[in-house]
Amino acid sequence: MAVNEPLPGTSDLWEPEVLDWINLEKQARNIFSRYGYTELRTPIFERTDVFVRNLGNETDVVQKEMYTFQDRGGRSLTLRPEGTAGVMRAIANKGLEQGEEARVFYFGPMFRGERPAAGRRRQFHQVGVEAVGSDSPWMDAECIAMLVHFLAELGIHGSRVLLNTRGLPEDRQAISQALLDYFQPHSNALCEDCQRRLSTNVWRMLDCKNPACHEIALGAPQILSLMGEASRTFFAEVCAGLTELGVEYELAPRMVRGLDYYVHTVFEITHPGLGAQDALAGGGRYRISLPGDKRTFEGIGFAAGMERLLLARESLGLQSPPSNRTDTYIVSLGAPAIPVGLRLAGELRQAGLGGRVKADFSNRSLKAQMRSANREGASRVLILGEAELSQSSVICRNMTTSEQVTLPVGELKNWFLQA
C-alpha cells in the first residue's frame, strides 16, 4: 500500500462523484418526505451493548466485523456497523407516546471490518429509514414500495425485490428444531461457519453463500410452512399490500438476513449490475429493546448501500459527467494586477456571477495562466494587464466561441448575463 493511500476498504471521494452522492441524498429527502419521514442524525459511535443486544451476539457483524474500542473512561464503544440500533436508541431516548409513530430517514457512514471487495467496504454509507410504532403489515408493504419508488426515481431499473418472513418469536423454537434435525446429519459437509451455526444460529444456514451449504439448504424445510397462523396471516397481508401498490416481488423462502432483531417481514433488493455483492438494500420488521430500558419498540425499515446505489447507476450509464473545476478564470499580468484580480474575483462571487471563479495569483506569463485556465475547463477568462488597470477595464474572453472584448469593469455583469 502506498504511504498516502486510504486504508483498505475506505476511500477518498472527489468530484464529480461527490455530486452523485449529493444527488442521491437529495432524491432520498425528496421521496421519503412525501411519505412523512423526517431526517435524523445520530452519533457515529454508540455504547457497544446497543449493537450487541439487538443485532445478536452470534451474528457475523457482532462476531467478526465491529470496530470496538475502549475510551479513556474504560467504556466499550463501537463505530456503528448499521443505523437501526442507534436510531432506536435515539427514539427511545426521546420517548414515543402510546399509539404514536416515528418515521425517520438517515444517511451516513457505517463501519464493518469485512474483507474489502467491489461493493464491500469497511467504511461504507447507508441511506436508511425506520418507521417505529406501527405493527401493521400494510406499513411493511408501504415501506417496501417507498424503497422501490426511490430506486425508480434514481433511474435504477432491473432490480429484484426478494421477500420472506421470519415469523413471530413464538414460532422460532419449533422451526429451529426442525432445521437442526435437517442440517445435523449433513454437518460434515458444511462450511466452518455453518458448523458453528449448528449450535449458535441455525437459521443463518439457510442463506449461507458457500456452494456446498447452499446445495444442502435447498432441501431444508420451508420455514413459512412451520409458522403459526398469526405469522402466516401477517405475511399474506404484506403480500396483498404489495400487490395493491403494484410492487413486483419474488418469494425467497430461504432468505433470513444477517441480523437477529427481525420478526415477520424480511426483504432484500438485488441488482445485476453489482456483481458478487448484489444486495442493493435490505430491511425488515424488527423488535428492539435498549440496554437498561424495559420497553420494546417495533418498527419496519431498510437501508441501502450508497456506494452500491451509485454502482448500480453506473452500470446503467447514469453517473454524473466530469465537472469543470473552474468556470471563470481571472488572469492577472504583473504584480499590481494581482490584488485587482483578487478583488474582482471576490466581487463576482458576492454578486453570484461567473459560477466557480478562480483568480490566478502566480504572476506567471499570459501563456502559462491561459494554459491553466484551459486545463481547469474555464469557459470564461478575464484578463487584467497594465493597460486594463489604468483604464479600469478588463479583457473578457469567451473560451467556447473565442470571442474577446475589452469592457469597463462596470459592464461585466451584462457580459456574464448575455452569453
Angle at the Cα of 25 from the Cα atoms of 22 and 26, rounded to 5 degrees? 85
Neighbours of 16 (CB within 10 A): 12
Q: Does residue number 114 form part of the binding site for ligand HAM (CB under 6 A)?
A: yes
Q: Does residue number 130 form part of the binding site for ligand HAM (CB under 6 A)?
A: yes
Summary count for the chain: helices (H), strands (E)? 14, 16
Binding range to ligand HAM, per CB under 6 A, among 67-75, 76-84, 216-224, 245-253:
76-84
CA distances from 154 to 98, 104, 304, 311 (A): 36, 20, 13, 12
**What is the Cα–Cα distance from 381 to 332, expressed in whole angstroms?**
10
Q: x/- binding map, residues 239-268, to ligand HAM, per CB under 6 A?
A: -------------------x----------
Query: From the list 282, 358, 360, 393, which residue makes contact with ligand HAM (rule: CB under 6 A)?
Result: 282
Q: Does residue number 91 form part of the binding site for ligand HAM (CB under 6 A)?
A: no
**Which C-beta is closer to ligand HAM: that of 162 or that of 373?**
162
Q: Does residue number 273 form part of the binding site for ligand HAM (CB under 6 A)?
A: no
**Region 289-328 residues binding ligand HAM, contact defined as CB under 6 A:** 301-305, 307-308
**Which C-beta is closer to ligand HAM: that of 280 or that of 348?**
280
Query: From the list 162, 238, 280, 396, which residue makes contact with ligand HAM (rule: CB under 6 A)?
Result: 280
Q: Does residue number 124 form part of the binding site for ligand HAM (CB under 6 A)?
A: yes
Query: From the list 56, 241, 283, 354, which residue makes contact with ligand HAM (rule: CB under 6 A)?
Result: 283
CA distances from 63 to 56, 194, 198, 219, 250 (A): 9, 14, 15, 28, 31
* Residue 209 beta carbon to ligand HAM: minimum distance, rounded to whole angstroms: 14
**Which C-beta is closer to ligand HAM: that of 10 or that of 176?**
10
Q: Which amino acid is at 123?
A: Q
Query: From the list 80, 89, 121, 186, which residue makes contact with ligand HAM (rule: CB under 6 A)?
Result: 121
Binding range to ligand HAM, per CB under 6 A, among 113-121, 181-189, 207-215, 394-402:
113-121
Query: From the list 284, 369, 370, 373, which residue makes contact with ligand HAM (rule: CB under 6 A)?
Result: 284
Q: Which of 255, 258, 270 is nearest to 223 (CA)?
A: 255
Are 363 and 393 in contact, with CB atoms under 8 Å apart?
no
Residues in contact with ligand HAM, counted by CB under 6 A, come to a total of 27
Task: Please list, in sequence order, all residues whose beta carbon lies within 8 angstroms of the beta carbon of residue 370, skipping any fewer than 6 positions away.
Answer: 331, 381
Task: Please list, in sequence order, all residues whose beta carbon lies within 8 angstroms of the beta carbon of residue 345, skipping any fewer than 6 positions away.
Answer: 330, 357, 358, 359
* Residue 262 beta carbon to ligand HAM: minimum distance, rounded to whole angstroms: 7
Q: Does residue number 360 form part of the binding site for ligand HAM (CB under 6 A)?
A: no
Grid coordinates given for 160: 429484484
Neighbours of 323 (CB within 10 A): 12
Which residue is closest to ligand HAM by CB? 305
**Which C-beta is closer to ligand HAM: that of 284 or that of 354?**
284
Q: Does residue number 161 form part of the binding site for ligand HAM (CB under 6 A)?
A: no
**Which C-beta is closer to ligand HAM: that of 11 or that of 372?**
11
Query: From the list 249, 286, 297, 416, which residue makes contact with ligand HAM (rule: CB under 6 A)?
Result: 286
* Residue 112 beta carbon to ligand HAM: minimum distance, rounded to whole angstroms: 5
CA distances from 244 to 141, 167, 239, 240, 248 (A): 9, 22, 9, 6, 10
Q: Does residue number 86 form part of the binding site for ligand HAM (CB under 6 A)?
A: no
Query: From the list 279, 316, 407, 409, which residue makes contact with ligand HAM (rule: CB under 6 A)?
Result: 279
**Phi and psi of 393, rounded to 5°?**
-125, 180
CA distances from 398 to 5, 222, 278, 328, 409 (A): 39, 69, 47, 10, 16
Q: DSSP of 28-46, one letter per residue?
A: HHHHHHHTT-EE----SEE
Q: In terms of DSSP H, where are the helices of 58-125?
A: 60, 84-94
36 burial (CB, 10 Å; 0-12 / 13-18 / 19+) is: exposed
Binding range to ligand HAM, per CB under 6 A, among 69-77, 121-129, 156-164, 204-212:
121-129
Site for ligand HAM, rule CB under 6 A: 82-84, 112, 114, 119-121, 124, 126, 128, 130, 258, 279-284, 286, 301-305, 307-308
